[in-house]
Structure 1
Amino acid sequence: EKGIDTIVAASTGNAGSSLAGVCASQGQKAIICVPAAAPKAKLTQILMYGAQIIPVDGTYDDAFDLSVALTEKHGIFNRNTAYNPFTIEGKKTVSFEIFRQMNFSAPDRIFVSSGDGVILSGVYKGFEDLLQLGLISKMPHIISVQAEGSNNIIRNMFTDAYSFVPSKTVADSISVDLPRNFYMALDFLTRYNGEGIAVSDDEILSAGKELTVGNGVFAEPAATAAYAGFLNQKAEGKIAKGEKVVVLLTGSGLKDINAVQPLIEIPEPVKAEQFLKDFEL
């Protein structure tokens, strides 16, 4: 509609592959800045859609800064989360989906994996819209779940002296040094009495295995962090009987298969005839 032919974004892979696919379907050029260490499955999707990929020797934060610099220098339309306000408007639609799928009601509790705080803010914004329209009577209790090695939102929830530390976690999509939507996310958490939980990488991977084996849902570590937060609160008895609980899973496990390799062991090849002879249920 606006005649935009080129779009740039920074991504650890998920948003980048989605943008690349949309641009391919509309004859637009996508330029995706990614940290060089991003999972190959995600980078493969981006390249297959024909996008220009720029691997940055550094973190997601470095990729973000480069994408903004490209916009400032060349006037390229920037889709970045926390830079382009339309991303919040897009992400808030998940709240409308939850509302509709729960028979036009709101859950009591929602667990959301958080990195830069955009999905968290989008969930809040969607339910805030529903609240202001009078379609729900109260805001759900929303829990921001971060990796212990990348917890720069929740570690600053109860202080005015903000500090940020370098991130290091197996959950690459929520690995962020400087949360670009920090102030909005913190404002929502404060105004609506939200909660923050930090989970270890071991807890994230363990929760992912339990989620897959026990529920048939294979999600990447950045998504299963939310499930790890749910398991922690369940074990602590914080979830009341009969509560309606939503755990938001934001990425397929097929996007980051390297992260779960320590959890699995692929058997050695067998001789078919001998295996059939020896096999017992």
Structure 2
Amino acid sequence: MRCLNCGSTYDPDENIYTCPKCGPRLGTLEIVFEKYPKVDISLEDLRSKGIWAFKELLPLERNDYEVPLFIGNTPIYEKKEMAKKLGLSNLWIKDDGRNPTASYKDRATAMAISKAKALKKEIVYCASTGNAASSLAGLSAASGMKSVIFVPKTAPEAKITQLLVYGSTVMAVDGSYDEAFDLSMEIGEEFGWYTRNSAINPYLLEGKKTGSMEVPIQIGHVPDVAIVSVGDGTVVSSIYKGFKDMKMAGFTDRIPQIIGVQAEGANAVMRTFESGHFDKPVDIDAHSIADSISVGKPRDVLKACKWVKESGGYFVSVTDEEIGHAIIELARESGVFAEPAGSTAYAGLKKIAKDLHGKSVVVFITGNGLKDIRSARNFTGQVNYVKADPSSVKDALRKSGII
């Protein structure tokens, strides 16, 4: 484990999450392979094993526990007509809403469960605006482990219900995500539980990186640009790390430009990036309909800024209005129903498409729209309420312009 800030290295057996010299915010650790194995992973490997097809490139022992739910190998859809409209050479939509608990976070949770089992921990905890929480709840249940989850009390009802269905102990905090995060770390450390807080625990990014590692296997090459929504900064960092590890392992020959998209009311990572002072994070009071990325005090800001810059990428922000309209357009153009955080990436693509003219692009959709139908409903048409007779139906069809 190597500190991204000061460069200090630590043995993987040391029971630390962040660099003791630099503290929890700047002392973010990255997992470094002393030697990369040469890999040749086939599409069939991916189809049969999911994320475990990449076990040689994960910081796990050969016999470490594997969550007994199928995670990864999520669909990637080629959308040539959408690409043409946007002036791109090609466009792929990678739908991670098809994971077991309907979000990208299952990739990280699988790693957390494996590590917790190896350390003989019985309880795993996290703070979340919803997706990491439901992921931990579901995968813990499948693995026979207990989970304690801290969420802002404003988290969508569908996400909180998921936690209770899976049997988690839920703490709905009267405060922001950032307050829930700090509270979870204090309680979790006091009781010696294992943390699934991905911006603190460096191993979770290793699970998340499998999302981008799948892309060159599924489409046969590396696209020019990869676009993903950004909250804490871990997912966008993992997109870079996945492409980098595949290059270092000799599977590909390049890393795409990484572009992170934030909600305008929660764009702390973008502000830090544009300031040029990555070691001085800009914190804000975050507000957005995209609850999964509504983070004002991002914990993985250093990784996100450094690695996006290394890829030649940048950050862009979009309004809640643009996010909402992107949910509808993405669903109607591609058939993929994204939650607000997922559609944020597509909204970002629409905003900067002219700057990407002629390039091939993959957009990562990180969560399923059924997790937050209330937000989507604000941007849809209305239901036609009719009487139980043909004339009433025909009147409604005429008003709708169908006939």
TM-score (norm. length: structure 1): 0.94
Larger mean Cα displacement after TM superposition, 39-48 or 155-164: 155-164
**Structure-2 residue corresponding to 1:40:** 157
Specify every segment of 5 or more residues in structure 1 that has no aligned partner in the other structure, as ranges: none
Larger mean Cα displacement after TM superposition, 148-157 or 131-140: 131-140
Q: CA deviation at 1:265?
A: 4.3
Question: Deviation per CA, 1:14-40, whole angstroms, max 9, x where unpaired?
Answer: 111111111111221111100100000
Q: CA deviation at 1:47?
A: 0.6
**Structure-1 residue corresponding to 2:222:** 106
**Structure-2 residue corresponding to 1:63:** 180
Q: Does 1:120 align with 2:236?
A: yes
Q: Distance in 2 between matches of 1:4 and 1:162?
A: 33
Q: Distance in 2 between matches of 1:11 and 1:99?
A: 30
Q: Secondary structure at the match of 1:34?
A: strand
Q: CA deviation at 1:162?
A: 4.0
AA aligned to 2:225 is: R
Q: CA deviation at 1:277?
A: 6.1
Q: Distance in 1 between matches of 2:281 and 2:210?
A: 30
Q: Distance in 2 between matches of 1:163 and 1:10?
A: 21
Q: Distance in 2 between matches of 1:67 and 1:233?
A: 37
Alignment RMSD: 1.5
AA aligned to 2:288 is: T
Q: Does 1:146 align with 2:262?
A: yes
Q: Does 1:208 align with 2:315?
A: no
Question: Deviation per CA, 1:90-148, whole angstroms, max 9, x where unpaired?
Answer: 00000111121112x21111111000001001111111111222322221011010011
Q: Does 1:180 align with 2:299?
A: yes
In the alignment of these two chains, the number of paired residues is 277
Q: CA deviation at 1:268?
A: 5.1
**Structure-2 residue corresponding to 1:5:** 122
Question: Deviation per CA, 1:208-263, whole angstroms, max 9, x where unpaired?
Answer: 111112221110111111001111122xx21232x221011001111011112321
Matches within 5 A, 1:212-251: 212-234=331-353, 237-241=354-358, 243-251=359-367
**Structure-1 residue corresponding to 2:84:** none
Between the two proteins, what is the percent identity of the paired residues?
A: 43
Is the Cα–Cα contact under 8 Å of residues 328 and 380 in structure 2 kept in the other structure?
Answer: no
Q: CA deviation at 1:191?
A: 2.1
Q: Secondary structure at the match of 1:111?
A: strand
Q: Distance in 2 between matches of 1:190 and 1:238?
A: 17
**Structure-2 residue corresponding to 1:78:** 195
AA aligned to 1:55 is: A
Distance verdict in 2 for CA 1:183–1:203, change over 3 Å:
same
AA aligned to 1:112 is: V
Q: Distance in 2 between matches of 1:17 and 1:192?
A: 31
Q: Distance in 2 between matches of 1:53 and 1:225?
A: 27
Among candidates 143, 146, 160, match of residue 29 of structure 1 = 146
**Structure-1 residue corresponding to 2:136:** 19
Question: Deviation per CA, 1:158-179, whole angstroms, max 9, x where unpaired?
Answer: 3225422111111111100111
Q: Distance in 2 between matches of 1:263 and 1:221?
A: 11
Q: Secondary structure at the match of 2:317?
A: strand
TM-score (norm. length: structure 2): 0.66
Specify every segment of 5 or more residues in structure 2 that has no aligned partner in the other structure, as ranges: 1-116
Q: Distance in 1 between matches of 2:281 and 2:148?
A: 33
Is the Cα–Cα contact under 8 Å of residues 247 and 255 in structure 2 kept in the other structure?
Answer: yes
AA aligned to 1:152 is: A
AA aligned to 2:299 is: R
Is the Cα–Cα contact under 8 Å of residues 225 and 259 in structure 2 kept in the other structure?
Answer: yes
Q: Distance in 1 between matches of 2:150 and 2:206?
A: 22
